[in-house]
Amino acid sequence: MPSNKSVSDAPIVQFSNCRILRDHRLQREDLWVREGKILNPEKLFFDEKGSADVQLDCKGSIIAPGFIDVQINGGFGVDFSLATEDFKSGIDLVSQKILSHGVTSFCPTLVTSPPSVYHQILPQISVRNGGPHGAGILGAHLEGPFISREKKGAHPEHCLRTFEAGAFQDLLATYGSLDCVRIVTLAPEMERSSEVIRELTKRGICVSLGHSVANLSQAEEAVQHGATFITHLFNAMLPFHHRDPGIVGLLTSDKIPAGRRVFYGMISDGIHTNPAALRIAHRAHPKGLVLVTDAIAGMGLAPGRHTLGQQVVEIDGLNTYIAGTKTLSGSVATMDTCVRHFQEATGCSVEMALEAASLHPAQLLGIDHSKGTLNYDSDADFLMLNDSLYVQATYIAGQEVWRQDTSGM
């Protein structure tokens, strides 16, 4: 039988003394990695007669898939909705900084903006793999401008748009290009939205329902046309009503097409959603829950004034408001904080909390064959965490890209 060297000269790394999140439970196994992928040790031993070149003692840590943030507006002073000359260096900075919070892939999110902003920014966002330079970019999330005036939240009203005749062409003209777009949030009650949802879905773009006054039947129709996600459940939508639960009703709807799952984002920062609401959503539809940060430029910075696209926002503790109002405008929570808060608020298992930030967003985007799991042959994007779910180290493609230093910083 051949040795492992005849198959590949790349070193094999064995992570031992750890609990691996696999098949929805923490298992006491070793993790084997080669060339950025997770190896099946049985094939390695029996087919290749191979062994580890490097052994790492994880000292009892949890190993979980890297977090995937599908809604992040910026952070560390960088606003993804501001067209600046050094936009690329800004996105590089955020992708590097979020490694310490366990994020290995993300969707930079643009809030409602004038067409000129989309035309300037979107060509500067490119899908790329993660590495020591930072988390991977999965494509942009465009939140607006095709949303409801009544539920605009922190989105500037003068930039909102409706679908005119030739609705999809109108959307293309607004954004300029869909080349790097992964998610579009829109309000499904808008006239001609069904046509747009169908066209976006055909192109492999995830359609999310949000900033909306849609009733349940409008939301169900949108799902039947291809929508699969709800943008920050409970926020910027009609509140749950027992006679017409609105978009929230999708969590238990019997009108979802067979074989389709509706996912929903939740900002688990202790501000945007009461713990009781988190528990209701989680118990109603646990497999659809996707943790998002909805973080703004002020994440990682001191309280004060910052931007969110066209608006000025103020950070007061963990609250972020449009300046001079009490309208919430994104969060300053990091993904690891959201995971811990979610687990504490719902009392769910550690496995469920970790999967809400990894497996579920990967399933939403249809990339769970390679990301969001630690299955054999998937990308070796993973985290080491302690029992309190604090990130100790972050790996992308099997390479350590961040580690907490010994001083605890």
Residue from 245, 225, 223, 220 nearest 234 by CA: 245
330 is in an annotated binding site: yes
pTM of the predicted model as reported, rounded to 2 decimal places: 0.96
Question: For the segment 55-76, what is each residue's pLDDT rounded down to a tens digit?
Answer: 999 999 999 999 999 999 999 9
User: In a 3-state reduction of DSSP, which class is residue 331?
Assistant: strand
154 is in an annotated binding site: yes
**What is the C-alpha separation between 208 and 187, in angstroms, rounded?**
8
Interval 95-145: pLDDT, tens = 999 999 999 999 999 999 999 999 999 999 999 999 999 999 999 999 999
CA distance 399 to 356: 24
**Is 3.40.190.10 the CATH classification of the domain at 66-365?**
no
Among 276, 269, 274, 278, residue whose Cα is nearest residue 319:
269
Domains 12-64+373-403 and 66-365 share a fold: no
Which residues are identified as catalytic?
Answer: 294
Phi (first) and psi of residue 256, to 5 degrees? -75, 130
| 206-209 vs 229-230, strand pairing mode | parallel
**Each residue's pLDDT expressed in tens, for the chain with a length of 409 residues:** 344 444 567 899 999 999 999 999 999 999 999 999 999 998 887 787 778 899 999 999 999 999 999 999 999 999 999 999 899 999 999 999 999 999 999 999 999 999 999 999 999 999 999 999 999 999 999 999 999 999 999 999 999 999 998 999 999 999 999 999 999 999 999 999 999 999 999 999 999 999 999 999 999 999 999 999 999 999 999 999 999 999 999 999 999 999 999 999 999 999 999 999 999 999 999 999 999 999 999 999 999 999 999 999 999 888 999 999 999 999 999 999 999 999 999 999 999 999 999 999 999 999 999 999 999 999 999 999 999 999 999 999 999 999 998 544 4
Ligand-binding site membership of 128 (annotated): no
The residue extents of the domains of the chain are: 12-64+373-403, 66-365
Specify the pLDDT at position 185.
Answer: 98
Asked if the 12-64+373-403 domain carries CATH number 2.30.40.10, the reply is: yes
Q: How many residues does the chain have?
A: 409
* Annotated binding residue 328: yes
**How much is the pLDDT for 350?**
98
Binding residue per annotation — 369? no
Angle at 40 between CA 36 and CA 46, to 5 degrees: 125
Q: Which two tokens stand for residue 200?
A: 């976006």
Find the radius of gyration of the CA atoms of the chain.
Answer: 21
User: Residue 232, annotated ligand binder?
Assistant: yes
**Which residue(s) pair with 165 in the sheet?**
none
Q: Give the model's pLDDT for residue 44.
A: 80
Any known ligand binding at 101? no
Closest to 26 (Cα-Cα) out of 50, 62, 2, 73: 62
Residue 3 has a pLDDT of 42
Is 77 exposed, middle or buried, given 0-12, 13-18 or 19+ CB atoms closer than 10 A? middle
Annotated ligand binding at 176? The verdict is: no
